[in-house]
Amino acid sequence: MSRPETDLAAALATDTPIPRDAEGPVFAEPWQAQAFALTVALLNKGVFSADEWAQALGAEIREAVANGGCRDGSDYYERWCEALEHLLIAKGLTSHDGIDALAASWARAAEATPHGKPILLANDPQQG
Amino acid sequence: MSGHHHDHDHDNHFTSIEARVKALESLMVEKGYVDPAALDAIVETYETRVGPRNGARVVARAWTDPDYAQRLKADGTAAVAELGYGGRGGEHIVACFNTPDEHNLIVCTLCSCYPWPVLGLPPVWYKSPPYRAKTVIDPRGTLADFGVTLPEGQRVRVWDSTAETRFIVIPMRPAGTEGWSEDKLAAIVNRDSMIGTGLPRPEDAP
């Protein structure tokens, strides 16, 4: 099976320690794969360019390394998510407060969802 | 969180980073920048590369150590913890041993209860309501869809995880693997064989 995104990821992350093995990226937890997939999909749509992404991610990682983090790759996808947030904000597509509010809504939706049912944003009891 | 019975409020929980990823995703979907199907397709490419899949170690140990297999049968949670693995919450792990008479199949739930640290990420199709419905009504049909044909006399038993209990299928050790090391055995225990939608593949041995 070909994994075109693997090459893309390699190209995007040349200066950064993306967690991977011989066959390509590996993910410690499901959300990391979701964040990775979202970024790849936005790139494919042209919402931002590979160059812009590489710069955004590189900046987060350099900052984290300067502060003593991200040396073993364990917080790599936390930095990835911050880079994605900052890039989408810089593009004028959302705001920090907007993401905070929506994340809080998802957290409430998860708590309110009974076992065996899909977690939907509409399950947030505070959604109007 | 032990002994919480149960008005459903705590079945599901997002960590703060999980909630942020969902927020970014839903925002981009809502604005029309991404199609959820496209996201699923990308994740699907990597689905076997998520999580540690510690379950394969549990199966390999059970195959090579009869005492361990007994402990695993008696108390799955404790036996899995012996190898240093555990679930996120206080849920119980029950090991369902396949036998010549009975094949076990787990139906996934649609929420966050699936034990990915032990089994790896479920296949995208496996979470779909039609799959779930069909599996409950016609488990042999589901297995056939995925290329698994069981011997005539082998029953199929379907397990549905609850908020308190997770299941792992312990497949039968394939013939021809006598004398293999635990590492080599673990390599042939794929995710599908621990869900029951597949069988171990000795041809995958390193």
Q: Model confidence over B81-118: pLDDT tens digits? A: 898 876 555 578 899 999 999 999 988 665 556 677 77
Specify the pLDDT at position B165: 82
Cβ separation B39–A94 shorter than 8 A: no
Q: Which residue in B20, B50, B41, B18 sits closest to A44, CA to CA?
A: B41
Level-2 CATH architecture, domain A4-94: Orthogonal Bundle (1.10)
Cβ separation B12–A107 shorter than 8 A: no
In chain A, what are the domain boundaries? 4-94, 96-128
The CA-CA-CA angle for residues B27, B33, B35, to 5°, reads 90
In chain B, what are the domain boundaries? 16-45, 52-204
Closest chain B residue to the Cα of A40, Cα to Cα:
B42
Specify the pLDDT at position A7: 47
For residue A59, give how far its alpha carbon lies from the nearest alpha carbon of chain B (Å).
20
Please give the Cα distance from A126 to B29 (Å, whole number).
Answer: 21
B129-163 per-position pLDDT tens digit: 777 788 888 899 888 888 899 998 999 999 987 76
What is the full per-residue pLDDT of chain A (128 aa) written as tens digits?
344 444 455 444 545 567 777 667 788 888 999 999 999 999 989 999 988 998 898 888 888 878 877 666 678 899 999 999 999 999 999 999 999 999 999 999 999 988 777 788 999 999 75
Tokens 């909630």, located at residue:
B19
Q: Is A120 on the interface with B (CB under 8 A)?
A: no
- State the virtual CA torsion across B145, B150, B156, B160 in degrees, nearest 10: -40
Is the domain B52-204 a CATH 3.90.330.10 member? yes
Instruction: Kindly state the average pLDDT of the residues B11-31.
Output: 93
This prediction's pTM: 0.74
B25-76 per-position pLDDT tens digit: 999 999 999 999 889 888 888 877 777 778 999 999 999 999 999 999 999 9
